[in-house]
Amino acid sequence: MYVEILRDVIRRNIEFVVSKGLLDDEKLWNYDKSDVHSILLYCLIRIEDLGVVPLPEYKIRFRVPIDKVNIDKRFEGKKGRRIWFTRVDVAYLKNSNVIGVGEVFTPDEIHGILPSTELSGPWISPRHRIEHLVEQLKISFIIIVNVVNRLPPWEDARRHSVEVWESKWKDFVKDICTRHDIQCLHMVMRSVKDVEYNLYAKPK
């Protein structure tokens, strides 16, 4: 499976950036000032000899748009009702076709697992974008990285502990995989030495 190989490659890449002093627990804590998102993105892109081309910040157009009002009635009357594309952190291409995607979520979006209707304000959260992407795009695998070492100051994010958010993300990723018959690698990063790698695939 792609995700098994990528898991091992990404693990080595994380060890590499840690050994070079680019990532440590202090930087992980101050993720917004230390470019942690970019560093982890590098770990997802630095691959060779897998027959795929990883491209960062890749724009994917939907065949059927996201209708914001269908997700949350609070979008009613607002501009830009439909979302026709999304930009993923990494797209993995083979023969010009997107066969996989990778997304990195720092604590800023730890609450992005919730549907918009459960949030204090309307938001097409990462949950909605991932669900729509998997439904619209015939991909073979998805990689999701969650940094869960702290809570951001947002009110919605502070309704649960990091442990509860971690559990919600795990349940969501596993469900997406089993329902859509795709390979999933879910990385949960609590510290630079405490990274959990979960592989999911639909039971045969």
Measure CA of the first residue to CA of the last residue in the chain; give whole Å. Answer: 14
pLDDT at 49: 75
pTM comes to 0.94
- DSSP-derived 3-state class of residue 54: strand
Amino acid, single-letter form, for residue 173: V
Q: What is the per-residue burial (b if ≥16 Cβ within 10 Å, else e) of 45-84?
A: bebeeeebebeeebebebeeebebeebbeebeeeeeeebe
- DSSP-derived 3-state class of residue 2: helix
Helical ranges in 54-198 per DSSP H: 68-71, 126-136, 162-180
> What is the chain's alpha carbon radius of gyration, rounded to the nearest angstrom?
17
Total Cβ atoms within 10 A of residue 95: 8
The parent domain of residue 38 ranges over 2-200
**Structure tokens, 138:** 């015939």
pLDDT at 202: 57
The total number of structural domains in the chain stands at 1
- Reading the chain (204 residues) residue by residue, the pLDDT tens digits are 789 999 999 999 999 999 999 999 999 999 999 999 999 999 999 998 788 999 999 999 999 999 999 999 999 999 899 999 999 999 999 999 999 999 999 999 999 999 999 999 999 999 999 999 999 998 999 999 999 999 999 999 999 999 999 999 999 999 999 999 899 999 999 999 999 999 987 554
Please, are residues 197 and 204 in contact by the beta-carbon 8 Å criterion? no
Query: Which of these, 146, 152, 140, 147, lies nearest to 184 by C-alpha position?
Result: 140
